[in-house]
Every structure is written in structure tokens, then in C-alpha cells.
Structure 1
């Protein structure tokens, strides 16, 4: 049978509308924005705020802070690809259930390897379990502590190991922060209050149960994977198996098992590959054309990072935006495609660097949006954690 076809144009239109970037589908709250994106990236502290600014008219950092730290309707969690995301609570359960066991096991394996090489540690597995219990005991009854405070309170576990011996990037590595990362991935503890500004990160840690006021109770991995894949297809689809494996940081086996549990349809994409959509989403009003719009997205934005095979919105510009590890920098979009990047100049203005020539009206719209971002940022000194290759090239020309 001939597969239904979903064109690149239709895919871009879907992303624009479903990712709250189109004028008629803007989000009305930070929770709605995060839900629409199956979580917002937050590895770089400013990213989640700039991602919300791109999707919510009138957005202010205070509304994100309230959701994260006051009513706690959004929660930061280490999840897909060991990346920090901001999730609504229902999505948090699924993310921890699907990704948590895999990341936790990987973190434990890496620690065991390094501890076995350390002369001071005679029982690596027992040491990890004891350290984990000790950290949990410090974070009881609503107590929140920074990583430094935890290390001060647990001197007997504040030990170091040598990683990558003989390498220029090797050296002493403290173990307690790694224990904390493992416990975070497992959903035992969570990033709580941030004592720095919105564009910086200085978190305190809390037990997950105390922070939420209830037990997290994630579903089993198979159920959680199916739920996460369904959400991704509804937001990012159609997409390929390769895209899903990339996005989840998972295995083909896990993705195929999840797809087998869902009512999906295979579709043909413009590059000739096979994509998947939910059965009730083969044809959608979201496929229809919409007015071109200038969009500025931050580094590691969920839209930029949602697919592994990105040509339908990235075109030939990958070398300018993505580094060798697959981290996407700050992007300029026009008519649903990446057409350039942006950066903050020394005078705190937002500057645009286009990778292709745009019509005069489009260029004016891009410049107007850059000016809006300059005004919105004010004096905030945002610093990219993963500068795009084009930014490094510009710096080399100065």
C-alpha cells in the first residue's frame, strides 16, 4: 500500500503551531508552553526563560520563577540524553519512569568503574549505596541544601577519584556531586530554590517527595516510554525512529516497543524516509500554510533539538549552528526554517547573523524581533553555555 505523504512544508507548519511559535497558537502560561514541547530544555539556565519568551506574549521571568519555586507546577529534572529539562508534574512522572532507570544505571556504572581504580575504596557498590543513603538523610523534613553544603555535612563521603588518568582533561573528580546527579536522575531528589538570578543557576537540593508534597510514583518503564513517545509524536511528529532514539537518548529496542503499543501510521517524508504519526493525526489543520514569522530561539531550544534528521527545517546550515556533540546554538527562524543565528554583542544589543539572503520585509521583521529581545533582556548578562560555531567564527574575526 502507498503510504500517505507529509511534506516538509506541512511538517514545518505543524512545528510552528504546536510549538506555540505561530501568532494564533501562542501559549498562555509557562505550564502550557512546557506541556506543548514535552518539556523545555534547561541545561543552560537562561534557555528555559528565553524559550518561554519566544512562545508567550508578555512573558516575564517572575512567572517562570513562580511555577518553578512557588507553586511548583514545573520541576527541573535530569532526563533525556542526561539533559536538564523543565517538566509539568504529569510529564515529570513519565520522564522519570522512562528515562530515570537508564540514566541512573549508567551513572552508577561510571562511578563503579572509577571507584574500582581508587586505592581508598574497597567496596565500590557499598560505598555508593551508603553515600546515597547519607545524602537522603540530610534532605528530610523539607530541608534544602546546596551541593557544597552537602559536601560539608558529609566529610566522610566527600572523597575524590582520578578520572581519565594521563589525559589533559583528566584529574581529581569529587564523588558526592556525582551521587547527587544519580539521585536526581532516579527522582529521589530535585533541584529546589535557586539563589542566583534567572539567567544563572545556584540551586539547593530537596527530596522529591518534600518538594512536590506527595510521592512521585512514576509508571513502569515500558508504560512511561509509550507515553513519552505518544507525546513526542503529537508535538514533533511526523518523525522517524532515528529521531525518537536521538530525542529520548534511548535504544532502538525501547523505541520500537513503545511504537508497538501505540496506534500509529507510517507516512512518507519528502526525503524518502519513513516517518510515524498518530493514527488520528495523518492529516491535520496544522498542516495549512501560515503567515511567515520571525522567531529567535535560545541555544538547546526544544524545537531546534527535537529531531536528529533536521534538514526539513535546518537546510544546509547545520555546520553553523550545531557543535560536534550535537548541541544547537541560538537560532533565527523565518517561515518555519532556521535562516541564521543571534548573539549578544558587547554593548548588550542582540545581533543577527544570517546564513542566507532574506527579502527586505523578512529582514526587517527579524531585526524588529532582535530589538524586542534586546529591550526585554535589559541589562541581564546572559552567557551561552554552548556557543554555536558561527559565533566562534565571528569572534575570530574581531
Structure 2
């Protein structure tokens, strides 16, 4: 492979253990440290953020309180649309980078689609929508945070409905509030605020997005890719294209801009951040982890054979490619876990190879740790997987 340094499976797992803060000595002290190390936490399922943080904290007892503080009091973490039109939680200082690198193109498509659907339904025009938008943003500025229902009290036009895809099999009624708030979210004008209910709730309030500078798209893409490679490299071009959702030309341009270094992987050519090609030794301790559904480590790469065997995937993923709760031992997925209705954390090993007493004891300890801080809360993944359903029912 042209003299490129070879990085094998064991070194990739060592990098994962240390940089994803999963091995004991690498665990973090705060939610901000976790998010900074991982670049992005999947936020589609609200519970995932807390569970992913708790798995990586040295002291997980205060996970809920500390993560809530970071999200909704200090605003050091922000929940917003990002790569692949998916909701993530980012360090707030990355908001401008994410918006410029991945959000602008999606935002333009979303607004155009909303206007087209409204026009097809005979709904008011763009000027009307802009007037509603301005009114909503002013109401949010006054309130600080508000639900869509609360905003509709200030701006009744949010309650108006229009027919989507009239005459089609998927015809339905859309409410202006639902579509407009989504558009404002991808445009970086609003973000999700504190939810109604507990930390597992998906009934979010909305808040005006923190101010951030408008960045050049190419520069922002280079900055984001550099951050991600430092946390998750090496990665193939296919991994990078999948994670970012960019065109391959954009990925290649960003790789050149950050002077990424090519390395040889079992899958072919991969890339690391500039100066990051030196060997990384394996941690001097074994480790186990119980990671939640949609965890950024389990979902971080498109090509996953180096940490997740093909034969395990049908039971650990749903039909849309969403990973469920996973059990890890020394850098590879060996099974899955779930929480039963009575609160018990139950787990099952699917890959028995190399998993002796030490592994079982360590996994059991992690299950106890998780159960200890989750407490009376019941967590059901938004996207159910075959093994999670089986464990829950058993």
C-alpha cells in the first residue's frame, strides 16, 4: 500500500478505548469532556445522550444532574441538527462549524420543500411564512424557552394546517408549527431546550439558538473533519462520507485541507489527522462497557468489522440500521443489554470467544454501575432491536 503505515485491528481498538473514554483511566470528569472527545453525541433519542455520557464518566452518580446542567443551564452543550440531517448534541463552540459544514445545504432544501408543499396545498405564501417566523422568534426571545403549544398562544397562525401530498397514499395534514420549527432548527435559528418531564422525554421546549459567526463552508468542513479524525481516526473515505453526509468531493477537499495522513487498514486506505500516524499502544488494563442505543462509538464508522462481527448485527440493529444497546469487551461488541420493566439491567453475550471470568465480572460490574445511577427511571430505546426486545420480554 505504497509504504503507508499499517494500523491493525488491535491498535484501532486501543485508540477507540482511549479516545472514546471507555477504558477506566481515560474516563472523563464532566459531560463537556465526553462531548468534546467524541465531537458529537447522538440526540435523536434523548436518553442516549445521558447514557452515553454516564458510560464514560469516572463518577457516573451525577450524570443526570450534570448533563442537564450542561445542556440547559450553562448551555455548554447544544442539541441541534447536524450530520446526515440527524439531531446531535455538540459542544457549543462547535455550533457554527456544524451549521456551516453540514446545515446550510440541508436548511435550503427544507425551506424550499416547505414552501413548495404549502403552495401545492393553496396555503399562504413565503411572505406570510416569513412574518410568522419573525413573530415566533420574537416570542421565543421574550419567553426564553417554550413549547410549540405555548408559542401558538403568542402566534396563533402556527396552528394552521395544510394538506401534504394530496391524493397520494401518504396524504396527511401538516401543522405550520411542526414544519416551521423544524426548518428554523436546521437553519440554526432555534435549538431544543429543556424537555417536559424527565431526562428521557422527547417533548422538548424550543429556545433561540446561541449566536455564532457565519463561517465559510469549506473551512468549516475542514475543521469538523479534523476534529473527528483526531477522535475517531483512522477512518476510510467511506466512513467519512457516511458520518458527515457530505459528497465525496467535499470529503476529499477537507482531507487535503487538513493534511490528513494516509494509512493502511484491512479495508484499504484510511486517514488519520496530521501527525497522528505514530503507534498507539494498547491500554494496560482490560475494560468493559454497556453503551446505549445509537451510541456514537457503535455508530461511528460505516465499516465496522474491526469491532463488530457481521453475524451479530441482525440481533443488534433494527431494520433501518440503528444500533441498539451494546455490550463491549476490550474494544469489540460481544453482546447487548436491556432494562426490564422492574428496572433490572440484563445483558447477554452473543460472541463467547475470549470472554472468560474476567470479562463476565467486568460486564456485570458495569451493569451494576449503570443500574445504580439510572435508579427508578425506565429507559426504552426509541428504536427497538431484536435482542433488546427479547431481553425485555424475558
TMscore range, shorter length: over 0.9
1:111 corresponds to 2:114: yes
1:77 corresponds to 2:73: no
Task: Specify the SS of the correspondent of 1:367.
Answer: helix
In structure 2, the residue matched to 1:334 is 329
1:305 corresponds to 2:306: no
User: Cα offset for 1:191?
Assistant: 1.9
Match of 1:120 among 116, 120, 123: 123
1:349-387 per-position Cα deviation (integer Å, ceiling 9, x unaligned): 011022121323212221221122122211102121011
1:297-335 per-position Cα deviation (integer Å, ceiling 9, x unaligned): 011111111111111111122222222322111110011
Question: Which structure 2 residues correspond to residues 256-267 of structure 1 after superposition, within 5 A?
Answer: 256-267=252-263
In structure 2, the residue matched to 1:383 is 380
User: Cα offset for 1:254?
Assistant: 1.6
Gaps of 5+ in 2: none
Output the CA distance in 2 between the equivalents of 1:218 and 1:13.
37
Match of 2:266 among 256, 263, 270: 270
Gaps of 5+ in 1: none
User: Cα offset for 1:170?
Assistant: 4.5
1:184 corresponds to 2:168: no
1:221-263 per-position Cα deviation (integer Å, ceiling 9, x unaligned): 1111100000111001000111111111222122112112111
Going from structure 1 to structure 2, the CA distance change for 1:168 and 1:353 (only over 3 Å counts) comes to farther
In structure 1, the residue matched to 2:218 is 222
User: Cα offset for 1:168?
Assistant: 6.5
Going from structure 1 to structure 2, the CA distance change for 1:310 and 1:166 (only over 3 Å counts) comes to farther
Contact 1:162 1:172 in 2 (8 A): yes
User: Cα offset for 1:167?
Assistant: 6.5
User: Cα offset for 1:62?
Assistant: 0.8
In structure 1, the residue matched to 2:97 is 94
**More displaced stretch, 318-327 vs 31-40:** 318-327
Output the CA distance in 1 between the equivalents of 2:343 and 2:166.
41
In structure 1, the residue matched to 2:274 is 279
Task: Specify the SS of the correspondent of 1:204.
Answer: strand
Going from structure 1 to structure 2, the CA distance change for 1:353 and 1:169 (only over 3 Å counts) comes to farther
Output the CA distance in 1 between the equivalents of 2:122 and 2:269.
52
- Report how many aligned residue pairs link the two structures: 388
Contact 1:322 1:329 in 2 (8 A): yes
Output the CA distance in 2 between the equivalents of 1:97 and 1:128.
24
In structure 2, the residue matched to 1:248 is 244
Contact 2:121 2:164 in 1 (8 A): no
Output the CA distance in 2 between the equivalents of 1:205 and 1:226.
30
Output the CA distance in 1 between the equivalents of 2:171 and 2:230.
43
Output the CA distance in 1 between the equivalents of 2:167 and 2:313.
34
Going from structure 1 to structure 2, the CA distance change for 1:131 and 1:244 (only over 3 Å counts) comes to farther
Output the CA distance in 1 between the equivalents of 2:165 and 2:374.
40
Task: Specify the SS of the correspondent of 1:190.
Answer: strand
**More displaced stretch, 79-88 vs 305-314:** 79-88
Task: Specify the SS of the correspondent of 2:238.
Answer: helix
Task: Specify the SS of the correspondent of 1:32.
Answer: helix
Task: Specify the SS of the correspondent of 1:86.
Answer: strand
Contact 2:190 2:207 in 1 (8 A): yes
Q: Cα RMSD over matched residues?
A: 2.0
Task: Specify the SS of the correspondent of 1:11.
Answer: helix
In structure 1, the residue matched to 2:345 is 350
1:22-66 per-position Cα deviation (integer Å, ceiling 9, x unaligned): 111111111111000002122111111111110002231111111
